[in-house]
Structure 1
Amino acid sequence: MNCPAIPLLLLPGLMNDHRIWTPLVSVVAGERHVHIAPTHLHDSVAESARDAIAAMPPGSFAVAGFSLGGYVAQEVCRQSSDRIAGLGLVDTGARADTDEARQARQRMIDAVEGGAGGGDATFSQVAHGFASRIVHASRLQDRELLQLLSDMASNVGSEGLVRQQRAAMNRADSRDLLRRLHMPAVVVCGRDDRVTPFSLSQEMATLLPDAELAAADAAGHMSILEQPATVVAALVRWLRRVDAAAAGPGAMSTTI
């Protein structure tokens, strides 16, 4: 008997739209309900999570988040623990921002808002500068990848970026939460991620009771676009575990 396919909620990262998840969706969309919820409409991780949960069909579902979307995915688990069948975290972390990180986000907000008002920086300049930090050095001349990042950033827009930065800088620390998530989980990260270093993924995988840790070699922060085969394979393995756990006797649950 085939295991039922659990619905899947996907959450994009900073300056990303639904296209960040194309490598995975192209593989799994035919077998399960997939919804990609935006993360640029609210300046609160909690509000983004609330809207994402409301968009899912009744019953249990799995959730995966990339980067900022990983913060929202953890908040989804916090808000709707009894419905979550599995958690996927890609190039993200569980810690709250440090004071230094908050200051860096505020500088980016100031630059974007200053540019919108005729200041020195423009949104496109900020987005371009950020793009150079998030891809592996070997992909800095990949015009197709860089164009996709630029297109997604433009789709999110300056106001969306400001909302995302404010949401990220005020997010809760989720390390204690992860310890209580008794469900199939996967943590994936680019080996050379400079934004959310691999050590943060190792920490999350250690905290989660049932997690696989996967590293994408020769990848920076945008691992799902830089090394899609590695990342998608890890996510598909995770979804198979989610489906099997949901279908089997004594299926794992979340206790918070």
Structure 2
Amino acid sequence: MARPQLSPGVYWPKDRSTTTADGATIRWTTLSDRGGNDRPTVALLSGFLCADTWWHDMAPALSDAGYRVLLLHYRGIATSGLPRTGLDPRGLSVERFAEDVLDVLHAAGVAEVSLVGHSMGGQVMVEVARRIPGRIRSMVGVTAADRSPFRDLYGAGWLAHPLVSTVLRGLRLLREPMGTAVYRTVWRTLPFVPLARASTAFGPLTPADVLRSYTDHAAQLSGAYFTSVLHAMHRHDPGDLLRALHQPTLLVSGSHDPFTPLATAERMADHLPAADLVVIPETTHGAILEASTEVNRAVLRHLQHHHPADPRS
């Protein structure tokens, strides 16, 4: 059953904030601090346009297991604000999202952290690890990508990248406020859940009410923000970074995920020096919700081995 929303896509109040060097106010919280800052911290790094939706089941499971769970909203998402430069591409990039995470870790007094990235959050995760490799205890990618997922989208291979580039150029022709009017109309009128399932992006086990929290939040954003972040995700490429990341890493893949297919997880596992791969059968890009018990069990097993917590704390 879906937990109550405080606002579209937001399940937990973001009762703390930090201001970045370029003026963005990043809102965040921790679950729970009842054991103080001595609890091992796990930072949850969301995917494209996501507030809290995909952490619906995992965040409380990690907290119950004894972890201090850090939840934040990237700049421009839900409760967090844009930088002074607004929608300038220099202020909206995967690298800038990673810098936001670093600012929150500093504000939260976190010396060592484990990172869990979902979908685009995998791209943010590797950029955080690039910046503070000695402070990362372990990493987890759940149906995650380390670079533009459009390289592997639906197995299209080399055709997908130029096709998406062309679509992005076309989207930039939509001037404001017309772009936002079109964007919000699409999100609010198209039957997103049936379309997502028909396209096999999400399977029948993805809870419809939780999935709608994602679409409700996305519909509140602007067309320019959507296009800017989509472009940022598309142009991000960490190069050969994975081979330099020696942190113990778990990759969780949905067997039927067309967005970040199994081939993506296998490539990442081959490049990362200390990676394990777990495939969740009969699941899609929504595996984190479709098979939350199995996914959470795998993630907790990994974390307890490499960054142990006391569930009694």
Q: Is the 8 A contact 2:137 2:248 kept in 1?
A: yes
User: How far 1:161 moved relative to its partner?
Assistant: 2.5
User: How far 1:231 moved relative to its partner?
Assistant: 1.3
User: How far 1:150 moved relative to its partner?
Assistant: 2.1
Q: Is the 8 A contact 1:13 1:68 kept in 2?
A: yes
CA distance in 1, matches of 2:249, 2:98: 18
Root-mean-square deviation (CA), in Å?
Answer: 3.0
Q: Is the 8 A contact 2:183 2:223 kept in 1?
A: no
Partner of 1:226: 290
Q: Is the 8 A contact 1:39 1:69 kept in 2?
A: no
Any idea what SS the aligned residue of 1:241 has? helix
CA distance in 1, matches of 2:205, 2:173: 29
Structure 2 counterpart of 1:168, one-letter code: M
User: How far 1:68 moved relative to its partner?
Assistant: 1.0
**TM-score normalised by length of structure 1:** 0.80
1:34 maps onto 2:69 in alignment: yes
Measured at CA, do residues 23 and 79 of structure 1 come closer, stay the same or move farther in structure 2, by a change above 3 Å? same
Measured at CA, do residues 106 and 168 of structure 1 come closer, stay the same or move farther in structure 2, by a change above 3 Å? farther
Q: Is the 8 A contact 1:85 1:242 kept in 2?
A: yes
Q: Is the 8 A contact 2:179 2:223 kept in 1?
A: no
Alignment equivalent of 2:45, drawn from 8, 11, 27: 11
Q: Is the 8 A contact 2:141 2:251 kept in 1?
A: yes
Answer with 19-28 or 147-156: which moved more. 147-156
User: How far 1:12 moved relative to its partner?
Assistant: 1.0
Larger RCO: 1 or 2 (CA < 8 Å, sep 6+): 1
Measured at CA, do residues 171 and 127 of structure 1 come closer, stay the same or move farther in structure 2, by a change above 3 Å? farther
Partner of 2:216: 151
1:55 maps onto 2:107 in alignment: no
Any idea what SS the aligned residue of 1:54 has? helix
User: How far 1:127 moved relative to its partner?
Assistant: 8.8
Measured at CA, do residues 232 and 178 of structure 1 come closer, stay the same or move farther in structure 2, by a change above 3 Å? same
Partner of 2:261: 197
Answer with 211-220 or 91-100: which moved more. 91-100
Alignment equivalent of 2:120, drawn from 68, 89, 103: 68
Structure 2 counterpart of 1:61, one-letter code: V
CA distance in 1, matches of 2:58, 2:99: 23
CA distance in 1, matches of 2:220, 2:119: 17
Measured at CA, do residues 158 and 212 of structure 1 come closer, stay the same or move farther in structure 2, by a change above 3 Å? same
Provide Cα deviations, 1:26-54, integer angstroms capped at 9, x if missing partner. Answer: 11114122112224535211111001111
CA distance in 1, matches of 2:142, 2:260: 10
1:207 maps onto 2:271 in alignment: yes
1:239 maps onto 2:307 in alignment: no
Partner of 1:25: 59
Any idea what SS the aligned residue of 1:193 has? coil
CA distance in 2, matches of 1:127, 1:112: 25
User: How far 1:242 moved relative to its partner?
Assistant: 2.1
CA distance in 1, matches of 2:303, 2:192: 34
- What are the within-5 Å matches in structure 2 for residues 115-154 of structure 1? 115-117=179-181, 122-124=186-188, 128=192, 131-132=196-197, 133=199, 134-136=201-203, 138-139=204-205, 143-154=208-219
Unmatched tracts of structure 2, length 5 or more: 1-37, 77-90, 152-160
Measured at CA, do residues 209 and 112 of structure 1 come closer, stay the same or move farther in structure 2, by a change above 3 Å? farther
Structure 1 counterpart of 2:236, one-letter code: R
Aligned length: 239
Partner of 2:146: 94
Measured at CA, do residues 224 and 162 of structure 1 come closer, stay the same or move farther in structure 2, by a change above 3 Å? same
CA distance in 1, matches of 2:191, 2:63: 30
CA distance in 2, matches of 1:35, 1:168: 22
Answer with 108-117 or 8-17: which moved more. 108-117
User: How far 1:79 moved relative to its partner?
Assistant: 1.6
Q: Is the 8 A contact 1:185 1:211 kept in 2?
A: yes
Aligned-pair identity (%): 23
Q: Is the 8 A contact 1:43 1:166 kept in 2?
A: no
